[in-house]
Every structure is written in C-alpha cells, then in structure tokens.
Amino acid sequence: MGGSLTAAAIRLSALGWDLGFMIPELVFDVEVTQSLEGSGEALHLETFLPLSDTRQSVISESNAPEDLTLSTTLESGNRVARWEGSPTGPRTVRTSYRVRTAAVRYELPEEIPLGEPSRGETEDLEPTKVIQSTSPEITALAAKLLPPSGALRDYLRAVFDKVSSLGMKPFKGTTDALTALRLGEASCNGRSRLMVALLRARGIAARLVGGVVLDAGDKKTSHQWLEARVGGHWVPFDPTNGQFAALPQHYLALYRGDEVLFRHSRDIGFKYLFSIRPNTAPRQEVHTHKAELGLWRVFERMGIPPDLLKVIVLIPVGAVVVVLFRNVIGFRTFGSFLPVLIAASMRHTGFWWGAAGFVAILLVVALVRRLMSRLELLHSPQLAVLLTLVIALMLGLATIAADHDLPDLARISLFPFAILAITSERFAIMIDEEGYRPAMETLLRTLVVVFFCHYTMTSLSLQILMLGFPELLAVVAAIDIWLGRWVGLRMTEWLRFRPTMAVAARRAS
C-alpha cells in the first residue's frame, strides 16, 4: 500500500500535474425541440445555434432533422440553422448541444469620460424602429441621467438603475424602447431595448444579446440582455435580473443583435421547448494529460471506448463499498457483488430510472417463476425461460419509455440480463423459503448498496484519479484485506443486541 502511494506521488511530482484538473466542472446539456404540423407544402424553420467565444464553448452538438434538410450559415456573426422540406403530418426537430460556460464580471474604470468616441459597428450606434435612441423622450431622459462626475461608469449605473426600476410584465412579442418607457413596465426585451436606446443616445455603442438562462428543467422562454462597448470590450448588462457589468455562469448566448430566436413558415402549428440539464464533465486539462494516462492511451489504441475503461477501473472501488456494507455494517444483499454490476449498468440510466426498472423486472419475473413451479421444470430449462422473460421485459420497458420520451428508462435494455434472471430466481426462492418480508428487506438493502456503489463509481474525480494512477488498485486491495480482517460487531448486530449488552454492562458493574 505504501509502495503504491509512493509511486503515485513520484509520478505526480515528475509529471508536474496539478490535482485540480481532476475536479469535474459544470456543463449544461441543452435539447431544443421544435414541433410542427406539415401539410405537404414547402416550409422552413430557422433558429440560432451557440458559438464558442471567450465566455462559452460548445463541447458537442447533434441534430435530428427527420426528413427535413438542414443547412447552417454564418450571418452577421451569428450561426443560423435552417431546416427545409415538404413534410406531411407531425414532425419534430431536435437539436442537442453540450456547452461549457463561465461567469464574468468587469471592473469598469473611473477614468473613462462620457462622450469619448465609442468604437463599434455603425448599427450599434444608430436608432432603429424599435430602439428609438433619437426620440425626444429618450434623449431627454438620457440628459436627465447624466452624472455630475461625467464618468462613463456613473452614466452606465444611472441608466441601469433607471431601467431596472421598471415594473416587470411578460409582454408577448416585441416591446420597443419608447413603449417600455411610457408604460413604465416591460419584459426582458423591452428593458434591454430601452437601455440600449439610452446608451446610443449618448454615443455609446450597445447591442442586444439573445439566449437562454440555463436553469434545470423544461422551459418555453428565452431571454434578452445587452452589451455595451466600454474600454475596447463588450461588457454585458442584464437590467431584468440585476446583472451590472457581469453575467452568471448559467447564461448561454445564442445570437447578437435585435433578432427573433425562431423564424418559421406560417400556419404550421409551431411549438418549441428547451430541455436543460446541468451535468459534470472532465476539465479540458484531462484531455491535455491523456498522453500520460497510460491506461487511457492503451484502450484508445485498441479502439475500446473510454467509457468502458472508466467502469472497469472503478469496479474494484465499488467492491470496497460492498465489502464495507456486508462486513462492517452487516447488510445482506442478493449476490456478493451483484450491487457493483447493477451500479455499473446504471451509468446509462441513472440510479432512479435504473432502480425502477430493476425492481419492476425482479417482481414480475419472481411472480412468473412462482407460477412456473407448478410445471416442475428442471433448473436449466426454467432459468432459460426466465432469461427469455427478462429480455422480453427489458425490450418492452425500453419500447414504452421511448414512446413516452423517457430516454434514461429506455436504456434499461443495456442491463446485464443474465444477472437479472439469476437475481430474480434468487428473489423468488427467498420468498418461498423465508417469506415476503425477508425477501423485500434484502431487496431494499441491495438497492441501498447499489445507490452508494453507483454514486461512487460515477465520480469523475475518482475515475480520473484511477486512470492517472492505476497503481492505486493496490491501495484498494489493501483496504479489502483490512475490511476482511474485521472481527468486531457489525453495525446491524450492535443495534440488534444493544439492549442485551446494556443489561450485561449493568450487571457487570
């Protein structure tokens, strides 16, 4: 154990690695669903796809356009996706991407005076139909907000505070700057247009930014904020959510300019939905160090998916969890290391959907096995029938899940079906020999152990650590040996016999 730790320390020192790269980072998985009803006539859909920049980066992207033709173009610095076709009946277009974003905050310098020429595109300085920066009402308010200091920063703060003080009302469609000012209330796009107008009125280049706030769950709303040109930088402001010269991590920009997020043909019953799921992923530095991760390099050369390598390396760690629960805590489970195998399979489904599918299959197969006992089959044919039933149930669950758009449950078909069949048989035998209560208690305890195995084995930090230092497997083996020499009372035994031990202690005293 000491030798393996020393070897790991020497490698860490020789490679000059910072262990901080092993800590996973937050990423966001976004799926944009566009639904329509085709009539056989030509139609089109358009939306914006995210671009990588200094604050956000697109890690991966996929599109499922069904029978529509997809094309992407770069227009005015924005990436536009366009689908065209002549479908008949309902159609769904799915666009998925994983993005990495970062929070930003700017410290605005005091020395920049208001009135200094703002370098920006002409369109970022001029009025538009909905950003009426030359309107008398806008210019009068801009003059009223001029700070005594004459500093650009102070003017930005005065404008920001004024726009932030407007009432919040979720107007549908476009709200122009003048309407927002006159009503004294607006949604995010009305507030942002008003602030852009007040900035342009004093010669400050400003532009709208459209995107989505990456809160977990499903939503049918997008968001708008703005950027102002300050000291050679485009500085973000969101008067709706109180972000002054800053953006939090969960903002994703999709376009810049006064645009509409979705454009499409008329009368097609168009609907859209954002499905957002925060996730964790290895940091970029992990891919930089892949050459030094010997195991990773070997598996890549053999064409074996890295995902499988992560599972293999973490199975011994999951086994430690099982040993801890069985030898120290005193949990009885189905099979010695069945929880590890089930937990490894749940990397596709997640724990909760995987547990639901596991329990459903177990109960149904156990019921059928009891009914089959009347046929008095030999063990091998009986197990073959149960195996067939398990596969049929897994395929049935996957089909139902796919029809109801439950992709995690649909991956139940990736479970080890032979192990499920054997476990189901053991569960049925335990019901016959010991009764329902012991069988259900064992099932519950098995799920508890699977829960801890799953979240241990899906730890990205542990995965990266074991990939980088496979010699730590010796430490894992040493922990197993230490737990194997456990001679004290198990926790469940201590709880069970605590009253008796208390009586014995009183008598002894």
- Would residue 288 count as lying in a domain? no
Q: Residue 362: which domain range?
A: 305-484
Q: What is the pLDDT of residues 77-100, one digit of tens each?
A: 999 999 999 999 898 999 999 999
Position 3 in a domain: no
470 within domain boundaries: yes
User: Do residues 273 and 326 share a domain?
Assistant: no
> Does residue 234 surpass a pLDDT of 60?
yes
The per-residue pLDDT for range 469-483, each reduced to its tens digit, is 777 788 888 888 888
Question: Is the same domain home to 143 and 209?
Answer: yes
Does residue 42 lie in a domain region?
yes
Residue 93 shares a structural domain with residue 153: no
Mean pLDDT for 207-212 is: 96
Return the pLDDT at 26.
82
Q: Is 509 helix (H, G, I), strand (E, B) or coil?
A: coil
Please indicate, yes or no, whether residues 374 and 465 belong to a single structural domain of this protein.
yes
- Tell me the C-alpha distance between 482 and 105, whole Å: 50
CATH number of the domain bearing residue 61: 2.60.40.2250
Q: Is the pLDDT of residue 243 over 60?
A: yes
CA angle 148, 150, 152 (to 5 degrees): 130
Q: Is 440 exposed, middle or buried (0-12, 13-18, 19+ CB in 10 A)?
A: middle
How many CB atoms are closer than 10 A to CB 23?
Answer: 12
Give the pLDDT mean for 110-130: 80
What's the half-sphere exposure (Cβ side, CA atoms, 13 Å) at 425?
Answer: 19
Report which of 354, 347, 344 is spatially closest to residue 401, judged by C-alpha positions: 354
DSSP alpha helix (H) spans, 113-241: 136-144, 152-164, 177-183, 188-200
Residue 52: other Cβ atoms inside 10 A: 12
Q: Domain for residue 241, yes or no?
A: yes
Largest CA distance in the chain: 96
Cβ-proximal residues to 411 (8 Å cutoff; 6+ apart), any chain: 348, 349, 353, 398
Predicted pLDDT at 208? 96
Same domain (yes/no): 319, 395: yes
Give the model confidence (pLDDT) of 36-73 as tens digits: 998 889 999 999 999 999 999 999 999 876 678 999 99
Looking at the fold, whether 274 and 374 belong to one and the same domain comes out as no
Q: How many domains does the chain have?
A: 3
Residues 224 and 166 occupy one common structural domain: yes
Q: Are residues 227 and 277 in the same domain?
A: no
Q: Tell me the pLDDT tens digit for each residue of 390-417.
A: 888 878 887 887 777 777 777 776 677 7
Spatial CA neighbour of 202 closest among 148, 133, 257: 133
The verdict on residue 21 lying in a domain is no
Q: Would 96 be classed as within a structural domain?
A: yes
